[in-house]
Amino acid sequence: MSIDQLVLGTMYFGTRVEQGTAHDLMDRFVDAGGRMVDTADAYSFWTSESGRGGQSEECVGEWLTSRPGMRARVELATKVGAEPDHPFDGEIRQTVGLGRDHVRSAVEASLRRLRTDVVDVYWAHVPDERTPVEEVARTFGEVVAEGSARRVGMSNFPVWQVERARAVAAAAGLQPVDALQLHTSYVSPRPGAAVPGKDNPYGWVGVDTLSYLDAHPGTELWVYSPLVQASYTRRAERPFPDAYDHPGTTARLAVLDAVADESGLDAGQVVLAWMLARGWRPIVGVSTAEQLESALVAARAELAPEQLERLDAPA
């Protein structure tokens, strides 16, 4: 089983997902064997009345303090850098970024909201063109060295910056990046095609990402939006974006549906099981117990080697 490799995404906990439901979902996740809970200091500024984030971290922190001993059973990941530097009013003119002073104050604020003294993974959420990646590497390495975080991750960064950050940290004797958080799925959009809501060209897993992972076997890949907003299981009402409309998608969906029929899983569950079999860590953002149970079924499933070979075959 791969439940301990599944990541629970908490983006809307404390906003769209009210606290009681969120706490119940986290209880269910941990009781089933899950460990990693992923959040961000920016979650979710676009749904809050204040236009500021922090609600998700607050919700997770309140859950931890209301359940003595729970912190020892879970790992926490949070992110910094993506929140607007102004109360959100429908437009992001500039983010807070990844400057050293901001990151050092932001990690302390995240720890207060999470009611903990250390996070297990601290992510640079998005690239910051104002801050050299060398500074980012040193700053995050210092956060680990001082005990506020155990590991460092980079989300939505180009691979060359990830490698530059790794090399700078290693040369300075600091904790290097050992986790990437990007978007991918079983089907992919046409190269160069615009995908709604995915305007960061570096936020996708590409062949260069896979090559980097092969060259750095200790580096984890965390996948956000792995199910493309439920398009696999709700194709009639929530079809894939137009960018996914090409022969490769048609061919891969045919294989996916065949494996789903054989295994007794739905198509989305097969996608999660396929990712876990590859050693990737899908982040599942759930708002109901039914959605969580579906993800847990996928994490418990074991696809046959022959099925994995068919799923991996070129379309």
Q: What is the per-residue DSSP string for 172-199?
A: TT-PPEEEEEEE--SS-PPTT---TT--
In the residue annotation, 43 being an active-site residue is answered as: yes
Alpha helices (runs of H) in 66-145, residue ranges in sequence order: 100-114, 133-145
Homologous superfamily of 3-312 in CATH?
NADP-dependent oxidoreductase domain (3.20.20.100)
Catalytic choice (43, 122, 232, 244): 43
Question: Per-residue confidence of the chain (315 residues) as pLDDT tens digits?
Answer: 589 999 999 999 999 999 999 999 999 999 999 999 999 999 999 999 999 999 999 999 999 999 999 999 999 999 999 999 999 999 999 999 999 999 999 999 999 999 999 999 999 999 999 999 999 999 999 999 999 999 999 999 999 999 999 999 999 999 999 999 999 999 999 988 999 888 888 999 999 999 999 999 999 999 999 999 999 999 989 999 999 999 999 999 999 999 999 999 999 999 999 999 999 999 999 999 999 999 999 999 999 999 999 999 987
DSSP state for residue 34 in the 8-state scheme: -
> By the 8 A CB rule, do 161 and 133 touch?
yes
pLDDT of residue 200: 86
Within 8 A by CB and 6+ apart from 274, the residues are 186, 303, 308, 311
pTM of the model: 0.96
User: What residue spans define the domains of the chain?
Assistant: 3-312
- The type of residue at 51 is G
